[in-house]
Chain A
Amino acid sequence: MYRIRFHGRGGQGMKTASRILGKAFFLEGYEVQDAPRYGAERRGAPMFAYVRASKEQINERGIIRHPGLVVVADESLIAVPAAGVMQALRSDSILLINSMEKTKLWQDRLNFKGRIIALTQSPSGKGWDEMRFIGAICAGGAARLAGVIQETTLTLAINEELAHLGSDVVQTNLEMALTAFNELKNDTGIVKEGKPVRADDYRPPSWIELSWEDPKLSAPAIHAAATSEKLITGQWRTMRPVIDYSRCNRCWWLCSTFCPDGAIHLDKERYPQIDYNHCKGCLICLAQCPPHAVSAVAEPVAEAQKREGE
């Protein structure tokens, strides 16, 4: 059975990626299961989606352990433990990372024995603008690495899965997916089908008895104030709002009034300051600002700019 996981952030199209790949397998005559998995459904939060494909009926369900392929749309997730990107990898798992960094660097960084492939360049070289199509790119790459999906089948799958978005969107996504598909030609079929866990050779689960504990400990309560500050929800952001203070006329602080996360406060001079630890990047501030003083910068670009500035 092929077991493939896609990791990304809500809004990056991982569900779409899993559906394109699932449909492509299905059209090639496979039994298929594809599903997204999120916590609270919100843009920017880490999420994943998965695909199972087999010539036999699929009885396995739920989260994929021991994936043959893990596709990472957003490299920043690798550092977020809760995203579980590296969870339960096999030594022969393949890691396909969408990244501007080189494969070698990821190998050193992750100390991972299996094969890592970085899609080092966005297909047409337009850089991070193409994050919009990352779902299709990931699906195209995964289809190639699985090796049993023909180009025509991938094309058909994209047409069917994205038809509701109109022919222009289909066309662009198709180009992106096929570029990734072709770029990985030399690695056709390197993803292997995984075997089930044997019933006579398995690690028994470490079951334990839960015992009674004081309700002070065993009731699901948080006994402290302002704990939500500790959760760096700024990591969910894909686009960063940046204020151009030469344009900000301190109107009546529409940005801070409308910010749904209370992430904008005023400094001594009554200029708005964004708390990037908690700004989730909804860009409502950008939409509200009368003199258009707020612009949106893609996170990786903003990070790079920050590094240069330092």
Chain B
Amino acid sequence: MKRELLTGNRAAALGALLARVDYLPAFPITPQTEIIETIGAWIEDGKMDCRMVTMESEHSMITAAGAAAVTGVRVFSATSSQGLLYGTEMLYTVAGWRAPFVLVNVSRGLSAPITLEPDHNDIMAVRDCGFLQVHCATCQEVLDSMIMAYRLAEDEKVRLPVIVNFDGFYLSFTREPVEVPTPDAVDSFLPPFDPGSIRFRANEPLSEGVAVLGGAAYSYFRYEAHLASEQGIEVFEKIAAEFSDCFGRSYGVLETYKSEDAEFTFVMIGSFATKAKDAVDRLRDVGWSIGLVRPRLLRPFPKEAIAKALKNKKGVAVIDQNLAAGLGGVLYTELSSVLYNQKGAPDVLLSFIGGLGGRDITPEDFYQIAAVTRKAVEDGETPPPRLLYSEEELLEVRKLQSVARAARQTRGGGK
């Protein structure tokens, strides 16, 4: 096993190479484009035996990916942000087909206003479409998740598409040391796709996603997909155990960091969770009993594991890098639904929203989140959700607004 410096994007591309992907429908979008560029160059050089087709939109790209998957070949595709949302109609459709393939989403904030920087609103917007979701925190995890995701998608208990999600910039363009397994080792862990009953051929006609009127058939098929998704927990654990045997790296449906004995816990997903680990270490340096719980699987939602990991905690701070307009943080509401009525549920569950549009979450933010959580426990009162937003940041915006106002006055056009 070789250790090299890889960006998250390159790690994802390498995952597709090692998984011996047959087909890649592609459409470019920042910050994902490097993945398909990398694979394109490998195909050109003869390093990768894969058919890549550039599509005219993400909507077509997802359709092509699903259609190819139901012929029984191994399929990969990648997108980000607006692209994921443009393909959303087909995400629901191909999941309904029970077409197993892997899609990477490189998280980036949604328009408007437009940005290139990351948050999780894009991936949260498709959380209910039927794709399983694996969330990564490091470039190593991107590569490893790619390899495991094919096993997960193709497992006959699941047979659903999987999204491997990671943050734009913070992982996509960031190089870190990554252990790269040998192709042989991956081949023995991930054998060629055995499509079983999935094999559409032109001479053996088949209709996918047939129309069903009346709720009985519809409810049956959709609920079956839901049950299959829920199987994902057990299947993931089995695959991860095998992965650990083969490659020595262990992945649970949750990552728990120093949380077993902790009184307080941060909960968050994605690459910023490594920053939370740093904060945990620093807080422990000065006597705090604190840890981190990071859901790696977000769909299926690892309800039991979460309830267990947070049992008897005094205070839990959920940090959402997304914002459901008119509601608040998505992870917070999902966690609340899991913990309600649980014995030993945390005394207080606090909501923090931060990191929108790439906004940094600083060590000071984490320390303060911990302090506010402890105070809530002491007071026995949960404060309202808190946006991580400083006076200095508002001042920056005020400056922009005054420039806009001046422009409006000198140049006219609207009051």
**A224 partner, pick from B170, B281, B367, B412, beta carbons under 8 A:** B412
Main secondary structure of the interface of A (DSSP, over half): loop
Instruction: Tell me, yes or no, whether B407 is within 8 Å of chain A by CB.
Output: yes
Q: How large is the interface on B (under 10, 10 to 19, 20 to 34, 35 or more residues)?
A: 35 or more
- Contact string against B for A residues 201-231, beta-carbon threshold 8 Å, 1 for contact and 0 otherwise: 0111111111000000100101111110010
A57 to chain B, nearest CB (A): 9
Which one of A34, A39, A61, A210 lies within 8 Å of B274 (CB-CB)? Answer: A61
A-contacting residues, B347-394, CB 8 Å: 360, 362-365, 367-368, 370-371, 386-392, 394
How many A residues touch the partner, as a band? 35 or more
Bound complex: CA A33 to CA B386 (Å): 31
**Is B364 touching A197 in the complex (CB atoms < 8 A)?**
yes
CB of A278 within 8 Å of the partner chain: no
Residues of chain B with a CB closer than 8 A to A33's CB = 174-176
From the candidates A204, A209, A223, A230, name the one contacting B413 in the complex (CB within 8 A). Answer: A223
A61, A204, A230: most-surrounded residue (chain B CB, <10 A): A61
**Is B272 an interface residue, CB under 8 A from the partner?**
yes
Q: Is the CB of A61 within 8 A of B364?
A: no
- Contacts A39-B116, A205-B365 given; indicate if A198 touches B286 (C-beta within 8 A): yes
* B contact residues around A205 at 8 Å (CB): 362, 364-365, 368, 388, 390
User: Contact: A22 with B5, CB < 8 Å?
Assistant: yes
Which residues of A, 1-58, contact B by the 8 Å Cβ criterion?
A: 19, 22-23, 26, 31-37, 39-41, 58
Q: Which residues, 130 to 187 on A, are CB-close (under 8 Å) to B?
A: none
Q: Could you tell me the distance in whole angstroms from the C-beta of A117 to the nearest C-beta in chain B?
A: 27
Q: What residues of B have a CB within 8 angstroms of the CB of A129 in the complex?
A: none
Chain A residues, CB < 8 A from B390: 205-208
Interfacial chain B residues near A230, Cβ < 8 Å: 407
Closest-CB distance, A22 to chain B (whole angstroms): 6
Contacts of B371 in A (CB 8 A): 204
CB-CB under 8 A from A283, the residues of chain B are: none
B411: chain A residues within 8 A (beta carbon): 224-227
Chain B residue with Cβ nearest A201: B286
Chain A residue numbers with a CB within 8 Å of B412 are 224-225
Contact call B173/A207, Cβ cutoff below 8 A: no
Q: Which residues of B are found within 8 Å of A310, using beta-carbon distances?
A: none
With both chains docked as a complex, state the minimum distance between the C-beta of A10 and any C-beta of chain B, in angstroms. 14
Are B275 and A60 touching (Cβ within 8 A)? yes
From the candidates B5, B169, B404, name the one contacting A222 in the complex (CB within 8 A).
Answer: B404
- What mask results when residues 221 to 236 of chain B are scored 1 for a CB within 8 Å of chain A, else 0? 0000000000000000
Residues of A within 8 A of B391 (CB): 206-208
Known: A199-B363, A205-B390, A224-B404. 16 other contacts (CB 8 A): A59-B274, A59-B278, A61-B174, A62-B360, A202-B364, A202-B367, A204-B367, A204-B368, A207-B389, A208-B389, A210-B387, A222-B404, A223-B413, A225-B412, A227-B407, A227-B411
> Which B residues are closer than 8 A to A by beta carbons?
5, 7, 30, 112-113, 116, 169-170, 173-177, 271-272, 274-275, 277-279, 281-283, 285-286, 288, 360, 362-365, 367-368, 370-371, 386-392, 394, 401, 404, 407-408, 410-414
User: Residues on A close to B: CB < 8 A?
Assistant: 19, 22-23, 26, 31-37, 39-41, 58-63, 65, 196-200, 202-210, 217, 220, 222-227, 230
30 contacts between A and B (CB under 8 A): A22-B5, A23-B5, A35-B173, A35-B174, A35-B175, A36-B173, A37-B169, A40-B116, A59-B281, A61-B272, A63-B360, A196-B278, A197-B363, A197-B367, A199-B286, A199-B363, A202-B363, A205-B364, A205-B365, A207-B391, A208-B390, A208-B391, A209-B387, A210-B387, A217-B401, A223-B413, A223-B414, A224-B410, A225-B413, A227-B411
